């Protein structure tokens, strides 16, 4: 069983005045996929978000954020993420955007980042339940392989020098 943490970034959820529909939806998807899921909620404060990511990456193989990736004045999740990740994962961001744009041009409003912190993968997802779950669905099938590689399981089964790198 692999541990994942969902970090909900939202002033409203943090203050208890908004339901965390996106966090709940992501937890459901991850549980169905066999993850043990932890949850964190933080307001749209860059330091708080960065601390939550760092903390979650210490105990989870997969860290998903939802919220704070847009153009609102307080949307700083990508900036917090960029300050923490050690190696950017531009291909995963590309795949999420490409799939999202098949649904709606509004997907282009995402400023999401992804990358690794130690052996954990951190991925920003949009704040809406639909945007968050569609973005996660776009990369879900790749997660076992990515998390295996991050954990140092770099055996090659394909006969090629590297299977994906």
Can you give the binding site for its own copies, defined by CB under 8 A? 10, 12-13, 18-22, 67-73, 75-76, 78-79, 87-95, 97-98, 101, 105-113, 116, 119, 121, 126-131, 139, 141-142, 145-146, 149-150, 152, 154, 158, 160-165
Residue whose tokens read 């949307």: 75
CB of 13 to its own copies, least distance (A): 7
Q: Which is nearer to its own copies, 52 or 149 (CB)?
A: 149
> What are the DSSP calls for 87-120, one per residue?
EE-HHHHHHHHHHHHHH-GGGGG----EEEETTE
Do 10 and 44 form a contact (C-beta atoms < 8 A)?
yes
**30 versus 120: smaller Cβ distance to its own copies:** 120
Of 60 and 110, which CB lies nearer to its own copies in the complex structure? 110
Map residue 40 onto helix, strand or coil: strand
Smallest gap, in angstroms, from Cβ of residue 92 to its own copies? 5
Q: How far is the CB of 23 from its own copies (least distance, A)?
A: 9
As beta bridge partners, residue 124 has 65
For residues 32 and 159, which CB has a smaller minimum distance to its own copies in the complex? Answer: 159
Instruction: State the minimum distance, in angstroms, from the CB of residue 95 to its own copies.
Output: 4
- The secondary structure of residue 158, as a DSSP letter, is S
Residue found by looking up tokens 């996929």 in the block:
33
Strand partners, 61: none
Q: What gap in Å lies between CA 64 and CA 70, rounded to an integer? A: 16
């Amino acid at each position: 069983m692999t541990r994942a943490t969902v970090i909900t970034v939202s002033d409203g959820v943090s203050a208890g005045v908004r339901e965390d529909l996106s966090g709940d939806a992501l937890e459901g998807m991850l549980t169905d996929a066999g993850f043990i899921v932890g949850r964190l909620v933080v307001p749209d404060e860059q330091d708080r978000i960065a601390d939550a990511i760092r903390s979650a990456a210490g105990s989870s193989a997969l860290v998903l954020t939802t919220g704070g990736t847009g153009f609102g004045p307080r949307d700083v999740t990508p900036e917090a993420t960029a300050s923490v990740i050690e190696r950017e994962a531009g291909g995963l961001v590309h795949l999420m955007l490409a799939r999202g744009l098949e649904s709606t041009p509004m997907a282009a409003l995402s400023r999401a980042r992804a990358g690794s912190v130690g052996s954990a993968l951190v991925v920003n997802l949009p704040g809406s339940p639909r945007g968050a779950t569609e973005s996660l669905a776009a990369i879900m099938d790749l997660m076992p392989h990515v998390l295996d590689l991050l954990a140092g399981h770099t055996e090659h089964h394909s006969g090629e020098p590297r299977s994906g790198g």
